[in-house]
Amino acid sequence: MTELKTKGNLTYRCVYRVIWFTQRMRRIFEDEALRNDLQLLLWEATTTLSVDVISCEILPDGVDIRIGLDPRRPLHKTIKDIKNMTAGGLKARHPELKRRMSSIWTYKYLASTEGALTEEEIAEYRLFQIYRGNS
């Protein structure tokens, strides 16, 4: 469990587990160079946005991250900003991605407060992405 944080008159502990995937569930992060660059870009983005990274796993086809967030900053905007920053950085460092993929990330993501998601629910969400479409 993470520690409580205090900023001004606000004391909080808002921890989210967020999972998102690449367009069409492409397994682009099996490539070590892409995985390493994504890890660096995630660190840069979260530092810029003042987001605390508790844990981060780069999946072959996405990201599974636990973040601590100031409750005054909307989660949706934070995830959108992280995705935009990492996609832009990946395309700049790996121009071949521009030709292979019009967009790196799907618009969707799965989010839950800490401790509320089971591995079964995550597997179900992954299947939903595959069979329902993930754009």
Q: How far, in Å, CA of 117 to CA of 63, rounded? A: 15
Amino acid at 65: I
pLDDT at 73 over 90: yes
Compute the average pLDDT of residues 1-16: 82
Which pTM does this prediction carry?
0.86
Binned at pLDDT 50, 70 and 90, residue 2 comes out as low
Q: Which CATH number fits domain 5-120: 3.40.50.620, 3.40.1360.10, 3.30.70.1290, 3.40.720.10?
A: 3.30.70.1290
User: Phi, psi (5° rounding) for residue 70?
Assistant: -60, 125
Tokens of 90: 């990946």
Q: Where are the alpha helices (DSSP H) in 1-135?
A: 32-48, 75-93, 96-100, 119-132
Q: How far, in Å, CA of 62 to CA of 22, rounded? A: 6
Domain ranges of the chain: 5-120
pLDDT at 23 (0 to 100): 94
Question: Which residue's entry shows tokens 């992060």?
Answer: 29
The answer to whether the beta carbons of residues 101 and 94 sit under 8 Å apart is no
Tokens of 107: 């618009």
